[in-house]
């Protein structure tokens, strides 16, 4: 559970935005409800390295936050997130070129992936203080790699980094379901917990501060939410600690009504899917916030079995009953979906 920068900030993400979102998460009731990760997605790094292969970031985008810190050091923002009692997440690609070669906005950057630098980069993330890493697949797909192979190498690099720093680095696999990750991702690297994306992006990002024709026409529909839910159903692969990732949430974003927010929350919750909120947290309505922090819904989400539901019935076309067993013997969670 947490927040991810991509859906609302795409590649304009910077220190100020992340600080503001983290502060909001810590103070609006979400942290108290269990949302803990603040994940910085694509756009934080433009692909530069020094002669030793160390990642170099833009000093203006990631300046010092506290006295004694250096500009251009990702440890600054990780420390800030930790100072709020939250965990910090970062992002890279399994290939050599990352998704910045297909920019959503702004210029295109090559070499924003970690291939060739797995040990070095994952150790760096851990040394900076990050607790979570999302690893995308643009470069892996471009080079026609095997996801099972690359992600196992990465899992190994993560384990080595964890041994060196003593800090857990949660592994979030993002290859969009392109090579059936539900078959290999649960066991990758023998992690005690992993998530893997099951489909493409729920939406192209909607950046409210960008006013170009492309962004202005982006509106989220029920189809976006239902397709991600359906693409994510691989109940055979999911159990405690191993979760199909239906994608970052779009609750509270442009086009979402209160009814659609409720549907979205209900489906992600009964799926025990990662709840990574993608909205600009400073703009959440009281209704969206109260759904995101609804204790009964979160109790279903956090059921220790963490299973996915199956469709139990569709008594009328478009009215579906979804159900899953829960850890207390005999207890079921049930969702009634009006498509
Ligand atoms: C892919 C991922 C998204 C996001 C973008 C960044 O499309 O699936 O979640 O990380 O890359 O470019």
User: Which mean pLDDT values do the consecutive 10-residue runs of the chain (339 residues) have?
Assistant: 98 97 98 98 98 98 98 98 98 97 91 98 98 98 98 97 97 98 91 94 94 91 97 95 97 97 98 98 98 98 97 97 96 96
Are 119 and 92 contacting, i.e. CB atoms less than 8 angstroms apart?
Answer: no
Both structure tokens of 52: 């030793």
List, in sequence order, every residue forming a beta bridge with 311; answer none if it has no partner. Answer: 322
Which pLDDT does position 192 carry in this prediction?
Answer: 84
Are 10 and 104 contacting, i.e. CB atoms less than 8 angstroms apart?
Answer: yes
Annotated active-site residue 201? The verdict is yes
- Alpha carbon distance 212, 114 (integer Å): 31
> Which of 7, 40, 42, 203 maximizes ligand 1 atoms within 8 Å of its Cβ, making it the mutation to test the pocket?
42
Which pLDDT does position 77 carry in this prediction?
Answer: 99
How many degrees, rounded to 5, is the angle at CA 264 between CA 260 and CA 265?
120
Contacts 24+ apart (CB under 8 A), 258-262: 258/285, 258/287, 258/288, 260/220, 260/222, 260/225, 261/287, 261/288, 261/291, 262/291
Residues ≥6 apart with Cβ < 8 Å to 150: 94, 95, 115, 140
Both structure tokens of 189: 């690297």
Which pLDDT does position 252 carry in this prediction?
Answer: 98
Which pLDDT does position 137 carry in this prediction?
Answer: 98
- Alpha carbon distance 242, 195 (integer Å): 6
For ligand 1, is residue 13 a contact (CB within 6 Å)? no
For ligand 1, is residue 245 a contact (CB within 6 Å)? no
* Residue appearing with tokens 């600080």: 19
Q: Which atom of ligand 1 is nearest to the CA of 201?
A: 8
- Alpha carbon distance 162, 37 (integer Å): 18
Which pLDDT does position 61 carry in this prediction?
Answer: 98
Which pLDDT does position 191 carry in this prediction?
Answer: 81
- Alpha carbon distance 130, 62 (integer Å): 15
166 sits in the region (left: phi over 0; alpha: psi -120 to 50; else beta) called: left
Both structure tokens of 94: 């399994």
Q: How far is the CA of 333 from the centre of ligand 1 (A)?
A: 31
Q: Which atom of ligand 1 is nearest to the CA of 41?
A: 10
Annotated active-site residue 121? The verdict is no
Are 313 and 332 contacting, i.e. CB atoms less than 8 angstroms apart?
Answer: no
Which pLDDT does position 8 carry in this prediction?
Answer: 97
How many CB atoms sit inside 10 A of residue 304's CB? 11
pTM: 0.98
Are 155 and 169 contacting, i.e. CB atoms less than 8 angstroms apart?
Answer: no
């Amino acid at each position: 559970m947490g927040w991810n920068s991509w859906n609302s900030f795409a590649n304009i993400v910077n220190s100020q935005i992340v600080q503001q979102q983290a502060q909001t998460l810590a103070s609006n009731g979400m942290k108290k409800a269990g949302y803990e990760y603040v994940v910085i997605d694509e756009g934080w790094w433009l692909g530069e390295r020094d002669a030793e292969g160390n990642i170099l970031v833009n000093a203006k985008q990631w300046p010092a936050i506290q006295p004694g810190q250096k500009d251009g050091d990702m440890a600054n923002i990780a420390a800030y997130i930790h100072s709020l009692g939250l965990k910090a997440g970062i992002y890279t690609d399994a290939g050599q070129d990352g998704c910045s070669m297909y920019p959503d906005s702004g210029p295109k950057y090559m070499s924003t992936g970690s291939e060739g630098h797995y040990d070095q980069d994952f150790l760096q993330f851990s040394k900076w203080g990050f607790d979570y890493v999302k690893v995308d697949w643009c470069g892996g797909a471009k080079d026609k790699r095997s996801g099972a192979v690359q992600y196992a190498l990465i899992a190994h690099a993560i384990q080595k980094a964890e041994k060196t720093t003593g800090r857990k680095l949660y592994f979030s696999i993002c290859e969009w379901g392109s090579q059936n990750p539900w078959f290999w991702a649960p066991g990758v690297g023998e992690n005690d917990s992993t998530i893997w994306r099951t489909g493409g992006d729920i939406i192209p990002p909607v950046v409210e501060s960008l006013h170009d024709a492309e962004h202005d026409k982006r509106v989220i529909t029920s189809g976006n939410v239902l397709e991600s839910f359906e693409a994510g159903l691989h109940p055979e692969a999911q159990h405690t600690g191993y979760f199909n990732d239906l994608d970052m949430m779009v609750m509270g974003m442009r086009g979402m009504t209160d009814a659609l927010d409720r549907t979205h929350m209900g489906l992600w919750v009964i799926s025990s899917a990662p709840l990574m909120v993608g909205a600009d947290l400073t703009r959440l309505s009281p209704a969206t916030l109260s759904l995101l922090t609804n204790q009964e819904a979160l109790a279903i989400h956090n059921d220790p079995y963490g299973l996915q539901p199956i469709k139990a019935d569709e008594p009328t076309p478009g009215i579906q009953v979804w159900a899953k067993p829960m850890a207390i013997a005999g207890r079921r969670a049930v969702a009634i979906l009006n498509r």
